[in-house]
Amino acid sequence: MNILLVYYEPIPAGQTTHVLSLARGLRARGHRVSVVLPADLDRSIKAFQAIDVDVVPLPLRKVLWHPRSVFSLARLVGLGSGRAPDVVHIHSQEAGLLGRATAWVGGARAVVYTPQVIDIRRARWHWLYVLAEHLLAHMTDVVISVSEADRERMIRWGIPARKIAHVPNAVDLNGAGGCGDSAGVRKALGLDEGRPLVMQVGRLSAQKNPLAFVEGAARVIRERPDAQFILVGEGPMREAVALRAEALGLDGAVRLLGWQDNAADLMVAADVVSLTSEWEGMPHALLEAMVKSRPVVATAVNGCPEVVADGETGFLVPRGDVGSWAKRVVDLLNDPVRRDEMGRRGRDRVEDVFSLERMVSCIEGLYLRIAKTG
């Protein structure tokens, strides 16, 4: 099959991880794959080129696309192009708005859409987003929900259940490898090997609520003054996070590493991996932590409860409840035996439920079904 993948994100993060893994898996199954992505994601472009897929960088934006992007995508999907894809698979809320309409107008044979996240920052506009999703569903053959909770919500919005398929996100177990060298990673990062480490990997944005991580760190340090904390990621809240850490006297305890190409590999150095998100889809950061046999403490939002078996592979806490987050982190720091046990169970859970092979097989099956009937 000839498959076109389209996605948007402002900096490399979960979308890139997901689409890159899917593209690699589809190529391994003999499909021809092309990828449309923002032209300013230089690292991502090189990563896709390295796995031998056709890469089409375009000046994509969050909502309003440059006219050249619209016309270019319409030409790529059009039946008169001579190389029209059998399936156009659009990822992310942002790309899903104009991207689906453009694909439909351009005459795409079949359109698949994975929003990853179905919440937005400005709650007062959520009704408009829901309306847009409802209308655009008429231009979509299949909507892939990464969590069962989100699938049920979209059905309540009025999107036909027959159009929504639940396919959880996944990680490459082989690519992830084993646990690696914790001491080596800590040394490379300039961390004290003898002190416990709590790490969070995610964009410094309102969605991930990194301020809750900093507030929670201050509480943990009251119980465990030897604890050290790392935030891996970039985003618009970087300055606010740094200022809050300084105000709480955490300069030496909380470090902001910025964007790291090998963020998932750094998790091996952590005793606990955190996620303080206000909303999510099915976060890759949790799956990557569990592959590294690391216990997690995450907010119980969207697909997180489907990833984390509460009390078995980590802990779930209410969104915004810094006190509960800090307590669970301290519980794990104080109990290394339980930490290790939860980490092993997390690795087992990913192998059983969230393997990349299973995800690619499910999505390929959807492609084949709609390509035959579309």
Q: pLDDT for 219-236, tens place per residue?
A: 999 999 999 999 999 999
CA dihedral 267, 275, 300, 332 (to 10 degrees): 60
Strand (E) positions, 119-227? 142-145, 164-166, 197-201
pLDDT above 50 (res 178)? no
Q: How far apart are CA 115 and CA 127, in angstroms?
A: 16
Contact present, 135 and 157 (Cβ < 8 Å): no
Q: How confident is the model at residue 215 (pLDDT cuts 50, 70, 90)?
A: very high
pLDDT above 50 (res 334)? yes
Domains of the chain: 2-170+355-373 (3.40.50.2000), 174-353 (3.40.50.2000)
Q: How far apart are CA 58 and CA 33, in angstroms?
A: 17
Q: Is the pTM of this model over 0.85?
A: yes
Rg (CA), the chain: 21
Q: Are strands 254-258 and 111-114 parallel, antiparallel or unpaired?
A: unpaired
Of the ranges 126-130, 179-183, 339-343, the best mean pLDDT one: 339-343
pLDDT of res. 339:
97
Percent of the chain with pLDDT over 90: 78
pLDDT of res. 329:
98
Across residues 351-358, what is the average pLDDT? 93
Return the amino acid letter for 226.
Answer: D
Q: How far apart are CA 238 and CA 241, in angstroms?
A: 5
pLDDT above 70 (res 16)? yes
Across residues 131-143, what is the average pLDDT? 94
Taken in order 297, 353, 164, 155, the sign of the CA dihedral is negative
Burial class (CB in 10 A: 0-12, 13-18, 19+), 29: exposed
Q: How confident is the model at residue 180 (pLDDT cuts 50, 70, 90)?
A: low
Q: pLDDT for 28-43, tens place per residue?
A: 999 999 999 999 999 8
DSSP 193-205: TTS-EEEEES-SS
pLDDT above 80 (res 122)? no
- What the block records as the tokens of 233 is 């990621």
Q: pLDDT for 37-73, tens place per residue?
A: 999 999 899 999 999 999 999 999 887 888 989 999 9
Return the DSSP state at 267.
G
Q: How far apart are CA 142 and CA 72, in angstroms?
A: 23
Q: How confident is the model at residue 81 (pLDDT cuts 50, 70, 90)?
A: low
Contact present, 171 and 202 (Cβ < 8 Å): no
Q: How confident is the model at residue 174 (pLDDT cuts 50, 70, 90)?
A: confident
